[in-house]
Structure 1
Amino acid sequence: MPGLNHSILDAGWGLFFGILAQKADSAARRVIPVDARNTSRTCSPPHPPATRPPGAT
Protein backbone atom coordinates (compact mmCIF):
# COMPACT_ATOMS: atom_id res chain seq x y z
CA MET A 1 0.00 0.00 0.00
CA PRO A 2 2.15 2.91 -1.18
CA GLY A 3 -0.63 5.39 -0.34
CA LEU A 4 -0.63 4.42 3.34
CA ASN A 5 3.16 4.52 3.58
CA HIS A 6 3.19 7.97 1.99
CA SER A 7 0.53 9.20 4.42
CA ILE A 8 2.48 7.90 7.42
CA LEU A 9 5.67 9.54 6.16
CA ASP A 10 3.88 12.85 5.59
CA ALA A 11 2.38 12.70 9.10
CA GLY A 12 5.81 12.02 10.59
CA TRP A 13 7.40 14.98 8.83
CA GLY A 14 4.46 17.18 9.82
CA LEU A 15 4.88 16.25 13.48
CA PHE A 16 8.66 16.77 13.28
CA PHE A 17 8.21 20.19 11.66
CA GLY A 18 5.70 21.24 14.33
CA ILE A 19 8.06 20.28 17.16
CA LEU A 20 10.99 21.96 15.40
CA ALA A 21 8.99 25.16 14.94
CA GLN A 22 8.08 25.20 18.66
CA LYS A 23 11.71 24.71 19.64
CA ALA A 24 12.81 27.47 17.27
CA ASP A 25 10.16 29.82 18.64
CA SER A 26 11.28 29.20 22.23
CA ALA A 27 14.86 30.01 21.16
CA ALA A 28 13.75 33.20 19.33
CA ARG A 29 14.58 31.57 15.98
CA ARG A 30 12.46 30.67 13.00
CA VAL A 31 12.17 27.67 10.74
CA ILE A 32 11.89 28.33 7.03
CA PRO A 33 10.37 25.44 5.08
CA VAL A 34 11.78 24.88 1.60
CA ASP A 35 10.54 22.87 -1.34
CA ALA A 36 12.17 19.43 -1.18
CA ARG A 37 12.60 19.19 -4.95
CA ASN A 38 16.22 19.24 -6.10
CA THR A 39 17.62 19.42 -2.56
CA SER A 40 19.51 16.12 -2.93
CA ARG A 41 21.32 16.86 -6.14
CA THR A 42 24.87 15.65 -6.34
CA CYS A 43 27.25 18.52 -6.94
CA SER A 44 30.19 18.24 -9.28
CA PRO A 45 33.50 17.54 -7.55
CA PRO A 46 35.74 20.53 -6.84
CA HIS A 47 38.37 21.34 -9.42
CA PRO A 48 42.02 21.03 -8.41
CA PRO A 49 43.70 24.33 -7.61
CA ALA A 50 45.44 26.05 -10.48
CA THR A 51 49.19 25.62 -10.44
CA ARG A 52 51.63 28.37 -11.26
CA PRO A 53 54.66 27.81 -13.44
CA PRO A 54 57.98 27.68 -11.58
CA GLY A 55 59.37 31.14 -10.88
CA ALA A 56 56.02 32.92 -11.19
CA THR A 57 55.03 35.19 -8.33
Structure 2
Amino acid sequence: MNEVLYSGRKNHSFQLRLPECMKDEIRRIAEMDGISINSAIVQRLAKSLREDRANGQ
Protein backbone atom coordinates (compact mmCIF):
# COMPACT_ATOMS: atom_id res chain seq x y z
CA MET A 1 0.00 0.00 0.00
CA ASN A 2 2.12 2.87 -1.28
CA GLU A 3 -0.56 5.55 -1.56
CA VAL A 4 -0.15 8.07 1.27
CA LEU A 5 -3.51 8.76 2.87
CA TYR A 6 -2.36 10.01 6.25
CA SER A 7 -0.63 13.35 6.72
CA GLY A 8 0.81 12.62 10.15
CA ARG A 9 -0.87 15.64 11.73
CA LYS A 10 -1.92 15.22 15.34
CA ASN A 11 -5.62 14.62 15.65
CA HIS A 12 -7.84 12.87 18.15
CA SER A 13 -6.45 9.80 19.84
CA PHE A 14 -7.95 6.80 21.57
CA GLN A 15 -6.93 3.39 22.72
CA LEU A 16 -7.62 0.52 20.35
CA ARG A 17 -7.59 -3.09 21.47
CA LEU A 18 -6.65 -5.60 18.78
CA PRO A 19 -6.22 -9.34 18.80
CA GLU A 20 -2.49 -10.09 19.09
CA CYS A 21 -2.40 -11.85 15.70
CA MET A 22 -3.97 -8.79 14.01
CA LYS A 23 -1.51 -6.42 15.67
CA ASP A 24 1.39 -8.61 14.52
CA GLU A 25 0.08 -8.61 10.95
CA ILE A 26 -0.40 -4.83 10.93
CA ARG A 27 3.09 -4.37 12.41
CA ARG A 28 4.58 -6.57 9.68
CA ILE A 29 2.76 -4.69 6.91
CA ALA A 30 3.75 -1.31 8.39
CA GLU A 31 7.41 -2.35 8.55
CA MET A 32 7.32 -3.50 4.92
CA ASP A 33 5.83 -0.13 3.91
CA GLY A 34 8.26 1.81 6.12
CA ILE A 35 5.48 3.48 8.11
CA SER A 36 4.20 3.40 11.67
CA ILE A 37 1.52 1.00 12.86
CA ASN A 38 -0.75 4.00 13.43
CA SER A 39 -0.26 5.22 9.87
CA ALA A 40 -0.95 1.74 8.50
CA ILE A 41 -4.21 1.54 10.44
CA VAL A 42 -5.32 5.04 9.41
CA GLN A 43 -4.51 4.34 5.75
CA ARG A 44 -6.53 1.12 5.75
CA LEU A 45 -9.48 2.79 7.49
CA ALA A 46 -9.41 5.67 5.01
CA LYS A 47 -9.34 3.22 2.08
CA SER A 48 -12.28 1.27 3.52
CA LEU A 49 -14.32 4.44 4.07
CA ARG A 50 -13.62 5.64 0.50
CA GLU A 51 -14.71 2.26 -0.87
CA ASP A 52 -17.89 2.37 1.20
CA ARG A 53 -18.71 5.85 -0.14
CA ALA A 54 -18.02 4.72 -3.71
CA ASN A 55 -20.39 1.78 -3.21
CA GLY A 56 -23.12 4.03 -1.82
CA GLN A 57 -22.94 2.70 1.72
TM over 0.5: no
Report 1 or 2 for greater relative contact order, CA contacts < 8 Å, sequence distance ≥ 6.
2
Whichever structure has more helix as a proportion of its residues is 2
The normalised TM-score by structure 2 is 0.38
Structure possessing the higher radius of gyration over alpha carbons: 1
